Amino acid sequence: MNKKILLKDLGNRDYKETWDYQEELFKSIIDLKIKNRREEAGQETPNHFLFVEHPHVYTLGKSGDMSNLLVDEAYLAEKQATFYKINRGGDITYHGPGQIVGYPILDLDNFFTDIHKYLRLLEDMIILTLAEYGIKGERSKGETGVWIDVGTPFVRKICAMGVRASRWVTMHGFALNVNTELGYFDLMIPCGIKGKAVTSLNVELGVKEVDTDEVKKKLLKHFSALFEAEFQLAYNKV
């Protein structure tokens, strides 16, 4: 079981370009697993973790409802935003500047074969990171992701999640609002859930900007502990 993870920070990168890169890594792991099974080769499968920040983009999961996007693509173009229907779970999500997006592309055979546990550990990573800033992140029953003030009229979402898995290999991941321009969420019904607001770390802390590199280091620390994993590269953008 290979618990080493290759870390890459892609910086600001186009959504489709990053999606294609994810697919390439995802397919290479699955192909190796198939080869191992056929040839009884027993080669270690790699694991990857990508950090990225996307230009304004809306993505709709495979079970999503197009009506949750409240404007047409012409209006999105005016807002310099793009739109993609993609192959993860979940409904509609926004990505944009000031948001930390993480894509763990793991062979869960190296860790545990339980998608429910995988999602809960991703949530735990976010909850533990928020706690370091004095913020109580929580789960909301039946709604994947991390929320604040669950069970009150002021409930708001700070981190969205959506994954795809095949042969226990994962792709897609989480989007944590750090310094995100929240007005872009007004153009959709976030995750298809009506009547719940969205927030970001800088808004919750009442500051203009939070150091995203510091947040990433905290996320990696908690991910490493929760998954008993070791990141192979130093924390550098590549």
Write the pLDDT tens digit of every residue in 198-223: 999 999 999 999 999 999 999 999 99
Rounded Cα distance, 3 and 26, in Å: 16
Please give the Cα distance from 35 to 41 (Å, whole number): 7
Asked if residue 152 is part of any domain, the answer here is yes
Beta strand 156-166 with 169-177 is antiparallel
> Does 162 belong to an annotated binding site?
yes
- Residue 151 assigned to a binding site: no
Residue 205, CA atoms < 13 Å, CB-side half-sphere: 16
Q: Is the dihedral of CA 65, 69, 75, 80 positive or negative?
A: negative
Residue 135, domain member (yes or no): yes
Residue 64's domain spans which residues?
Answer: 52-101+112-227
In a domain, 3, yes or no: no
Tell whether the torsion through CA atoms of 61, 66, 69 and 73 is positive or negative: positive
CATH of the domain at 206: 3.30.930.10
Residues tagged active-site: 191
Alpha carbon distances (Å) from 57 to 92, 114, 120, 184, 209: 10, 30, 26, 9, 21
User: Other C-beta atoms within 10 Å of 94: how many?
Assistant: 26
41-55 pLDDT, tens digit per residue, is 789 999 999 999 999
Q: Tell me the pTM.
A: 0.92
Question: How many domains are contained in the chain?
Answer: 1
125 is annotated as contributing to ligand binding: no
Return mean pLDDT, the chain: 91
**Is 142 known as a binding-site position?**
no
pLDDT in tens, the chain (238 residues): 899 999 999 999 999 999 999 999 999 999 999 999 888 778 999 999 999 999 999 988 877 788 888 888 888 888 889 998 888 877 888 999 999 999 999 999 999 999 999 999 999 999 999 999 999 999 999 888 999 999 999 999 999 999 999 999 999 999 999 999 999 988 887 655 666 789 999 999 999 999 999 999 999 999 999 999 999 874 444 4
Query: Is 89 annotated as a binding-site member?
Result: yes
99-111 burial, b at 16+ Cβ within 10 Å, e below that, comes to bbbbbbbbbbbbb
